[in-house]
Chains A and B, each alone.
Chain A
């Protein structure tokens, strides 16, 4: 398992569209993807669970990837969050 902490920088946080950008990207990896936020582990491939977690701008989250292509998955996940998940900054 690999993991990394990042800060959510886009204005709207993980609302519908950014969450969709994230899960669509993660969907192509075989490994499990989790977002750890507020001590809870959230399935990173589930838009429903991500949205329900209300991850807002400025939140510190940890991304965990576990499985055969975990390194590539983590790299893309971190890069996506840092670049604002396709949202206007």
Chain B
């Protein structure tokens, strides 16, 4: 059976499904089966709990150290509290099922711990919540999926993949990704592309359609999931997969070469990364620089802000490995869909129009200065450029520069070396800055167009909402004009302009970017060579002619059709 979805990352993956189910801890259907039986169920669940947690603890100790694992040890101590289990027992004696007993007693303790004044003790409430969820899960017969220990040839299936889930998964055993929600630009799709894993997003009901162990084909190029395929189909896909592999090898001819148009104009293809480890993929795919280092991952999956030393080490590692090639580091882009719990940001009615990115950072100068200090210190070890996300006004750039100058002064008095002329650029993600690019170009050292947000803010469309996502396309004439206008302003001012959004890797789009006069394209590492190849197929003259024609078109569909027709491979 073939199910349609949205192509998230190219390629074909064939493997066994592993469905990551969201825990449904509703136990209202559980019938009390007698005090003796319920007691036994409770005891068995507690034993299983200890076993699971001990195993997790051992693994955690090995991977991140004893200190982190201590938290889990605390859960084992707590669950073995004889007084607490006797309280659960009381509920069972009164005719409640084991689930209800666990729920009631844990809730009582959660309330008790939440109301104390001591911070450290209050945090224990989180442990008890975790404990309750795990115990209920065990009682309800749900098996926890451990993404850090997957069988080989796994196709991961989930409603959605959270950034923290993806951080722990064992990548080398995954052959494909399927999700019920999301689009080409959701985190899981971006991650899949950077890992070169085929992915299909927004496949309706895929979590219900698939059982663990089912054979499934992920066709990330056509955006299809083939569930329990017949032998013939399986073979057809396997040979297609082999063919794709051959094509990929042919692309290797572009490795180690410069990025030049057919008429000899030199451009550059950079790569986007999320953490220092990703640099190896950049080097493998011959990226000429890092065009976007998203620093959020340094801030996620932890309990407090990363220290200056930690940030410095990460930035320096990337800069040093890139050996003098440009590394554009984007300062913290928090908010919107990226929540960092310990920052305790207020819930907002409209997070994408709210207190996010550079707005948040400027309002929290103390923590922002830590990042700026780390960036400046790392600038002594490579070619680092600082990029500001979600700028809407020139005054934001000025305020960052003021902060940066104060940090520079601190470093000078401490005799710490850094690049005095570290470039500060602006990510063009809002119509506001695209429309005022002319004035902004006088105060920014470079521009990088972030097409994902630019498209979303220009078209007023939530890219994750499938009801309106059809409007979300960088082919819209409005988006094209903003890109062109930004590039024109940059070229007039003599500052570099690049693109680091998803559109930069859209091969059909490339002639327009060449025509508009962009200098650098930053794409997911796997797209570096295909992009370099596409650039080599177009001369500036041909690209200009196509762009001139495309700019007369009035709809995204017409633009898409014209670009598809002109596409060169």
Where the two chains meet, the residues of A that have a C-beta atom closer than 8 Å to any C-beta of B are 15-16, 20, 23, 27, 43, 45-49, 51-52, 54, 56
Among A43, A47, A52, point to the contact of B121 (Cβ < 8 A): A52
How many of chain B's residues touch chain A, expressed as a range? 10 to 19
- Grouping DSSP codes into helix (H, G, I), strand (E, B) and loop, the B interface class, with mixed when no group exceeds half, is helix
Cβ contacts under 8 Å, A56 to chain B: 118
Interface flags for B108-134 (1: CB within 8 Å of A; 0: not) read: 010011001110110010000000000
CB-CB nearest in chain B for A46? B83
Q: Which of B74, B83, B117, B118 is the one whose CB lies under 8 Å from A16?
A: B74
B residues with CB within 8 A of A: 74, 77-78, 81-84, 109, 112-113, 116-118, 120-121, 124
- CB–CB A46/B82 < 8 A: yes
Q: Which A residues lie within 8 Å of B81 (CB)?
A: 23, 46-49
The CA-CA distance from A20 to B116 in the complex, in Å, is 19
Chain B residues, CB < 8 A from A48: 78, 81, 83-84, 109
Q: How far is the CB of B216 from chain A (nearest CB, A)?
A: 44
CA distance A80 to B402 in the complex (A): 57
10 residue pairs, one from A and one from B, having the closest CB atoms: A46-B83, A54-B118, A52-B112, A20-B77, A48-B81, A43-B83, A47-B81, A16-B74, A48-B84, A46-B81
Report the nearest B residue to A27, measured CB to CB.
B82
A45 and B80 CA atoms in complex are apart in Å by: 11
List 6 extra interface pairs beyond A45-B82, A47-B78, CB under 8 A: A15-B121, A16-B77, A27-B82, A47-B81, A51-B113, A52-B109
Q: Could you write out 24 A-B pairs with CB less than 8 Å apart?
A: A15-B120, A15-B121, A16-B77, A16-B124, A23-B81, A27-B82, A45-B82, A46-B82, A47-B77, A47-B78, A47-B81, A48-B83, A48-B109, A49-B81, A49-B83, A51-B121, A51-B124, A52-B112, A52-B113, A52-B116, A52-B121, A54-B116, A54-B117, A56-B118
What residue of chain B has the Cβ atom nearest to residue A14's Cβ? B121
Closest Cβ of chain A: how far from B349's Cβ, in Å?
A: 36
Complex-state Cα separation, A51 to B109, whole angstroms: 10
* Min CB–CB distance B440 → chain A (angstroms): 53
Residues of A near B83 (CB, < 8 A) are: 43, 45-46, 48-49
